[in-house]
Structure 1
Amino acid sequence: MSKTVIALVGRPNVGKSTLFNRLTRSRDAIVADYPGLTRDRQYGTGRVGSTPYIVVDTGGLSGEQEGVDPLMAGQVQSAIGEADAVLFLVDGRAGLIPADESIASYIRHFNKPVYLLVNKAEGHKKDVIANDFYQMGLGEPFVISSAHGDNVNEMIENVLSDVAQDVEDEDELDLDKHPGIRVAVIGRPNVGKSTLINRMIGEERVVAFDMPGTTRDSIYVPFERQGELYTLIDTAGVRRRKNIKEKIEKFSIVKAIEAMESSNVVVLVVDGSEGITDQDLTLLGLALESGRGLVIAINKWDNLTPDQRAKIKHELEYKLHFVDYAKRHLISALHGTGVGDLFKTINAVYHASMKQVSTSDLNRVLEQAVLDHQPPLIGGRRVKLRYAHLGGLNPPRVIVHGTQVDKLPQAYSKYLMNVFRKAFKWVGTPVMIEYKVTSNPYEGRKSNFTYRKGKSESQAQNAYLKRKKKKKPQQKRRTS
């Protein structure tokens, strides 16, 4: 089933961003910067609660000018329109003000489940601080503290439970019905995404259908090419919603997230004539978070001048250096140039991300990596990498056990990723490394010296060694 989408709405400075960071357990929220929306809309995957979900943070509403700031209305309208539930935050310390009532009246028009959250309640009695907000008619308020996490877990569990009951009749997305390599094609509006999809499947062989039960209406296109089965996931078709501008309908961050999570390989299409934009980097960040194999296609290459081609190549080097493992293709979706090579890379990335590796081979590579480049000293002690095993595929996930491994710097983790990728030819896919600290069986145990001498363990051991040195060796008895 598609992930639940939850939108955070409220006045400025009521704690929406703090709650967003609390729910996503991250402070590097992805900013969706694209035409028609303001810069402070943020998307992230919720990790607080029993099930994952998508959180959308919106800009603050002033509640002025007939109930809502018109400059922010488009942003909030789009966020609420694609959400399954709305969390309406108010400031418990400030109490109920007319702006909150105006925003509540505005939210009611969307006919979405609304949950009233009375924030900044730390140090106050719940009944007293929530008393003023009952008159808003939004049901029982949740009294929380997004800064301290008070009652946040209980609140989100309640919301997820209610939303699950509302959508329990929806059909689940059965990935077995979509055979072969599932490829999500993502990109900004008008970058040639639909043209590329038609070129990949062939105009005469397009078999597109709307998958029932998926809340985001992604289009799944199954086809066969040279004996290999594929399913293209197109995010271009977005359901039209009332009073939403057309350019917003053409693109949805939520649809892109869901398409990537149900795919094996992600193809990011970039318009070569416009270069690498902030919106492209936003989608790239989402692709990295999904952990899927990645291929970058620079479209409209045949229409670029030599100066434009030199510029885009330079941008690829300094803007996309953090995804140097992803192969870049210079293509023309309209004329088909380079599309055949795109299929070869998709196949290579898929088979690499699904490649099984034995534990013995992993440990052999790990041992050689440690010999070539020793882990650093942490607190005067060398970090020890004892053994590793494969914890999952698509993306490959390596579990490394050892002592102090949780304190390894990021640079050494990147070194291990590159070593594993090169050794096992994990091309085009991120390599996830998780560390498990090996427990010390003697931790917490004290030696007999400590009890006998009343000193610390190290002092007792040193005293014992000194006494041992002073003792003379016993002379051997003479035998006749």
Structure 2
Amino acid sequence: MLPVVALVGRPNVGKSTLFNRLTRSRDAIVADFPGLTRDRQYGQGRVGPRPYIVVDTGGFEPVKSEGIVREMADQAEAAIAEADVVIFVTDARAGLTPHDERIMQRLRTCQRPVYLAVNKCEGLAAEHAAEFYELGMGEPIRISATHGHGVLPLMQKVLSELPEEFNEPEQEEEENPDAPKRIKVCLAGRPNVGKSTLANALLGEDRLIAYDMPGTTRDAIKVDFESDGIPFRLIDTAGLRRKGRVFEAVEKFSVVKTLQAIEDCNVCILVLDATEGIAASDAQIAGYALEAGRALVVAVNKWDGVDSYKRSMVDLDIERKFHFLRWARFIHISALKRNGLNHLMKAVKDAHAASFAKLSTPRLTRVMMAAVEQQQPPRVGRTRPKLRYAHQGGMNPPVIVIHGNSLDAVSDSYKRYLEGVFRDAFNLAGTPLRVELKTGRNPYAEDEKKK
């Protein structure tokens, strides 16, 4: 059983920097910008043989608040409730503030061990942390999350004073090679289309902040869950806008995190907003997934909020702007009312299965020969390309390699024809398919050159 350590404090004291230091990752976005972190972010750390789970939280305002600040406070409260120990992070350079005192009053009632960490102490004398004795937490632990100073003694102290059930080093379980791997599913789309609401609906709990304000999500938040016994890892991302509308440095970091999440996932769910219609940036986001070779499912959200005429117009718009995604499945859903989620998850599972499908060489070659019999490649000059055999060259996305003679002359339209034939024959819906042509070397070319 791994101990859970929650990082709590007011905005901009370095909680996310400490989270990255403890997890040895860059999962949390870090910038000199208050209120950057909003959702809970989980990660694993280790001190020697002692692993633990660390939870990053947004700036905590324990008194009555409204709007997004209230939502962030609820996330911090949830982290405190599930934690075994709390690290209260403060800022040595800003000094003790009334906000710190309000948080300390709340933590006194949490019935969890609380440790006071005074961050940003690099280059400062010990006297700068003296005022934090006023909080009544004993000796403050001076650290620098940026440089790593004092972080190891802090975690050694935290872990050594845990109850007996956490004192035994965690026995690492041997991985079962036959156990199914988690399917990584990424939610992508424009701001305020309902990605976090959809994530909460799939998880069955209010795990992420879903607020009626564009740009609520900033980090790429990863949450594990199961659907029909199949393990998934859901990644909620920040909304993507056109490059010309991205001005803040923080949003640029969020865009990078989102593009990395699309690159690393197995299946991308592109979330559209039926009430706002289909924008050019929606097709651009789909293009990112297509370029990365990721399986794709399109969720048309807020379908319950439009009438029959608007629905028909949205469907026509989808057909016109997403003509390059005819292989993807489009599912009408309502994340708020949890309608259509079963169909959505089935489409995700089918797309993942198609992306990792194993295609036998004999059957690929037979399908290719049947396609050539039905429609031969166009003649180029005096020669006609000759397709000899096909085999699978990769998965995620599936790659089909065709060998033959004079294949450099095969047109793109004929490659698309072959792609359609392979899709129908192997039921490869929901995933991109790449067809590569390789021309065999002419053994008589050298003799011709000598003549």
After TM superposition, the score normalised by the length of structure 2 is: 0.55
Gaps of 5+ in 2: 1-24, 27-176, 210-217, 241-245
Question: What is the correspondence of 1:86-125 to structure 2 with a 5 Å cutoff?
Answer: none
Matched residue, 1:373: 375
- Matched residues in 2 for 1:311 and 1:224: separation? 35
Matched residue, 2:290: 288
- Matched residues in 2 for 1:246 and 1:199: separation? 30
Cα deviation, 1:54-86, whole Å, max 9, x if unaligned, reads: xxxxxxxxxxxxxxxxxxxxxxxxxxxxxxxxx
User: 3-state DSSP class of the match of 1:387?
Assistant: strand
CA contact (8 A) 2:219 2:254 kept: no
Pair 1:250–1:289, CA change in 2 (3 A): same
What residue identity is the alignment partner of 1:278? A
1:317 deviates by: 1.3
Matched residue, 2:59: none
Larger Rg: 1
1:318 deviates by: 1.3
- Matched residues in 1 for 2:339 and 2:272: separation? 15
Matched residue, 1:357: 359
Cα deviation, 1:420-475, whole Å, max 9, x if unaligned, reads: 11111111111101111110111121599x6xxxxxxxxxxxxxxxxxxxxxxxxx
Question: 2:311 matched to 1:309?
Answer: yes
Pair 1:313–1:414, CA change in 2 (3 A): same
Pair 1:246–1:189, CA change in 2 (3 A): farther
Matched residue, 2:435: 433
User: 3-state DSSP class of the match of 1:268?
Assistant: strand
1:306 deviates by: 2.0
- Matched residues in 2 for 1:302 and 1:446: separation? 69
Cα deviation, 1:365-417, whole Å, max 9, x if unaligned, reads: 11111111101111221011111110000100011111221221111000010
What residue identity is the alignment partner of 1:186? A
Percent identity among equivalent residues?
44
Question: What is the correspondence of 1:435-474 to structure 2 with a 5 Å cutoff?
Answer: 435-446=437-448
What residue identity is the alignment partner of 2:343? D
What residue identity is the alignment partner of 1:220? K
CA contact (8 A) 1:397 1:432 kept: yes
- Matched residues in 1 for 2:370 and 2:398: separation? 20
- Matched residues in 2 for 1:253 and 1:355: separation? 31
- Matched residues in 2 for 1:335 and 1:419: separation? 39
Pair 1:250–1:334, CA change in 2 (3 A): farther
- Matched residues in 2 for 1:392 and 1:434: separation? 11
CA contact (8 A) 2:297 2:348 kept: yes
What residue identity is the alignment partner of 2:433? V
Question: What is the correspondence of 1:208-219 to structure 2 with a 5 Å cutoff?
Answer: 217-219=219-221
What residue identity is the alignment partner of 2:281? Q
CA contact (8 A) 1:417 1:431 kept: yes
1:255 deviates by: 2.3
Matched residue, 2:251: 249
User: 3-state DSSP class of the match of 1:203?
Assistant: coil
- Matched residues in 1 for 2:340 and 2:433: separation? 27
Gaps of 5+ in 1: 3-175, 209-215, 239-243, 451-480
User: 3-state DSSP class of the match of 2:351?
Assistant: helix
- Matched residues in 2 for 1:225 and 1:219: separation? 19
Count of aligned positions: 264
User: 3-state DSSP class of the match of 2:446?
Assistant: coil
Superposition RMSD in Å: 3.0
CA contact (8 A) 1:192 1:269 kept: yes
Cα deviation, 1:18-75, whole Å, max 9, x if unaligned, reads: xxxxxxxxxxxxxxxxxxxxxxxxxxxxxxxxxxxxxxxxxxxxxxxxxxxxxxxxxx
1:249 deviates by: 2.9
CA contact (8 A) 1:236 1:251 kept: no
Matched residue, 1:328: 330
CA contact (8 A) 1:191 1:299 kept: yes
Q: 2:349 aligns with which of 344, 347, 350?
A: 347
Matched residue, 1:91: none
1:252 deviates by: 3.9
Pair 1:233–1:179, CA change in 2 (3 A): farther
- Matched residues in 1 for 2:378 and 2:248: separation? 54
- Matched residues in 2 for 1:361 and 1:379: separation? 31
- Matched residues in 2 for 1:362 and 1:231: separation? 32
1:256 deviates by: 2.5
After TM superposition, the score normalised by the length of structure 1 is: 0.51
1:225 deviates by: 1.6
Pair 1:343–1:447, CA change in 2 (3 A): closer
CA contact (8 A) 1:391 1:397 kept: yes
